[in-house]
Amino acid sequence: MSVSPPLRSMRLVSRLSEDGTIHAGLETIDLPPPAPMQVTVRMEAAPLHSSNMNSFFGPIDIERAVQTGTGDAPGLSAPLRPGTAELQKNRLGQAVPGGSEGVGTVVAAGEGAEALMNTRVAVWNNSTYCDYQVFRAEDCLVVPEDLDPADAATAFINPLTALGIIETARRHGYKALINTAAASNVGRMLLRLCKEEGLGLVCIVRSAATAQQMRDLGAEHVIDSSEEAYREKLVEAIDATGAMICFDAIGGKQAGDILTCMEASARKHSKGFGPYGSQERRHYYIYGALDPAPIEIPRSAGLAWTCSGWLFRPFFKELSPEDRKRLIVRVSDGLGTTFKGKFARTIGLTDVLRLDIAREYFQRKTDGKTLIRF
Ligand SMILES: NC(=O)c1ccc[n+]([C@@H]2O[C@H](COP(=O)([O-])OP(=O)(O)OC[C@H]3O[C@@H](n4cnc5c(N)ncnc54)[C@H](OP(=O)(O)O)[C@@H]3O)[C@@H](O)[C@H]2O)c1
């Protein structure tokens, strides 16, 4: 057995104060040695996903953020957006760490986890914006030494989301699906997976430039929501593919628009009529909150739809152990290819707290993702 004494680890934490302000900064903690079936990992890289910003900072107004701290130990404070304080109440008095996945090297192993000692592992299910962290051995995936840190650091969340979306669509019996914010990292993984699996895909993006990017990557049905004829083109793409299931990372008014287009397509080939529109079943899953506005579904969308949230963690947890293993093997085989991610910049841990840099990553643009290197 190889067990080390407690390690000093520097980490990012945020705290909510009574006046509704989030204060993010650095702190050093003592990390206990790994328990049986646990390992201590020296972190090498971790991604800054949109969900990490939402959970680490909360729903802050980045335009009103201010720089605090000192040059070496910067801090960032920002007020919560109006109307969001109630949902954040449970954070009061808590130190919230950041990050949800990453890659690093095992430097200490508890009993039963010795085989992982000195290996390079992708990790998840604990915070990762720190220079050392303890993980359960079962939350580690050994990755090749020469795998690009950007691919190794994002081995779980986006790949399992893309795979989970495909599994969900298949379980409902669909042969084609719609995805929004489709030029995202998840969206590009979905594009590759749909090609590999022979599934139809309608990609919705919000600019001509990203629409062209998706076509260049081989997407057949790309709809630009900023176009005048957006709705007509979406109905045509639904007609062509039969996509009656949508995975929407945005929400807001877009959900109602898409459901209405699905209804318009369904009505074209349904016989008869009724007070609630067509009877063709549709599924609408909202898996992101890129638009923080309320989700609106107008009556023109009919009523034969089911709308719900979709989160990969509960989805993954509810799978059988065999299915979980199958998906992890699939991810492992596709790291650097099917599940390749794209990053705009690499920053250090303290740079996360620099206001000029935060304003950039908060834009959540296509190809705008940030990787933290330790
Ligand atoms: N439910 C889950 O379990 C789960 C898991 C993983 C990811 N997600 C969600 O999946 C989405 C994609 O994640 P990612 O890491 O792949 O993202 P990403 O690579 O950072 O890309 C973000 C994309 O969102 C688009 N976008 C940003 N704000 C938008 C808005 N207001 N309206 C329309 N499009 C907008 C951007 O397009 P432009 O550049 O054209 O603005 C960009 O293509 C995120 O919402 C994330 O939270 C959910």
Residues 35, 299: Cα–Cα separation, whole Å: 55
Question: Does the beta carbon of 287 lie inside 6 Å of ligand 1?
Answer: yes
Question: Does the beta carbon of 266 lie inside 6 Å of ligand 1?
Answer: no
> Which among 136, 123, 238 has a CA at the least distance from the CA of 178?
238
Residues 114, 106: Cα–Cα separation, whole Å: 10
Q: What is the DSSP letter of 34?
A: P
Say how many Å lie between the CA of residue 127 and the centre of ligand 1: 21
Question: Does the beta carbon of 250 lie inside 6 Å of ligand 1?
Answer: yes
Residues 164, 170: Cα–Cα separation, whole Å: 10
Residues 62, 163: Cα–Cα separation, whole Å: 32
Residues 149, 154: Cα–Cα separation, whole Å: 9
Q: What is the pLDDT of residues 101-152, one digit of tens each?
A: 999 999 999 999 999 999 999 999 999 999 999 999 999 999 999 999 999 9
Pocket test for ligand 1, best of 48, 51, 192, 227 (most atoms within 8 A of CB): 51
Q: What's the chain's length in residues?
A: 374
Q: What is the pLDDT of residues 285-328, one digit of tens each?
A: 999 989 988 999 999 999 999 999 999 999 999 999 999 999 99
Select the more confidently predicted residue: 205 or 276. 205
Beta strands in the chain (DSSP E): 7-16, 21-31, 38-48, 66-69, 74-79, 96-97, 101-109, 120-124, 132-136, 140-142, 176-180, 200-205, 221-224, 245-248, 282-286, 305-309, 345-347, 370-373
Mean pLDDT of 158-179: 97
Please state the domain extents for the chain: 7-154+341-373, 158-315
DSSP-assigned beta bridge partners for residue 43 = 104
Question: Does the beta carbon of 168 lie inside 6 Å of ligand 1?
Answer: no
Contacts for 217 with CB less than 8 Å, ≥ 6 apart: 188, 191
Class for the domain spanning 158-315: alpha beta
Say how many Å lie between the CA of residue 298 and the centre of ligand 1: 24
Residues 14, 351: Cα–Cα separation, whole Å: 15
Question: Does the beta carbon of 361 lie inside 6 Å of ligand 1?
Answer: no
Type of residue found at 374: F
pLDDT at 257: 96
Q: What is the mean pLDDT of the chain?
A: 95
pLDDT at 5: 60
Q: Is the pLDDT at 205 greater than 90, yes or no?
A: yes
Q: pLDDT confidence of 341, banded at 50, 70, 90?
A: confident
Domain with residues 7-154+341-373, CATH architecture: Alpha-Beta Complex (3.90)
Select the more confidently predicted residue: 273 or 344. 344
pLDDT at 206: 97
pLDDT at 71: 83
Say how many Å lie between the CA of residue 292 and the centre of ligand 1: 12
Q: Contact 290/181 with Cβ under 8 angstroms?
A: yes
Q: Is the pLDDT at 236 greater than 90, yes or no?
A: yes
Q: Contact 97/12 with Cβ under 8 angstroms?
A: yes
Residues 372, 344: Cα–Cα separation, whole Å: 11
The two structure tokens encoding residue 281:
């079943």
Output the CA–CA distances (angstroms, integers) from residue 319 to 35, 123, 160, 247, in the order listed: 27, 20, 12, 19
Say how many Å lie between the CA of residue 275 and the centre of ligand 1: 36
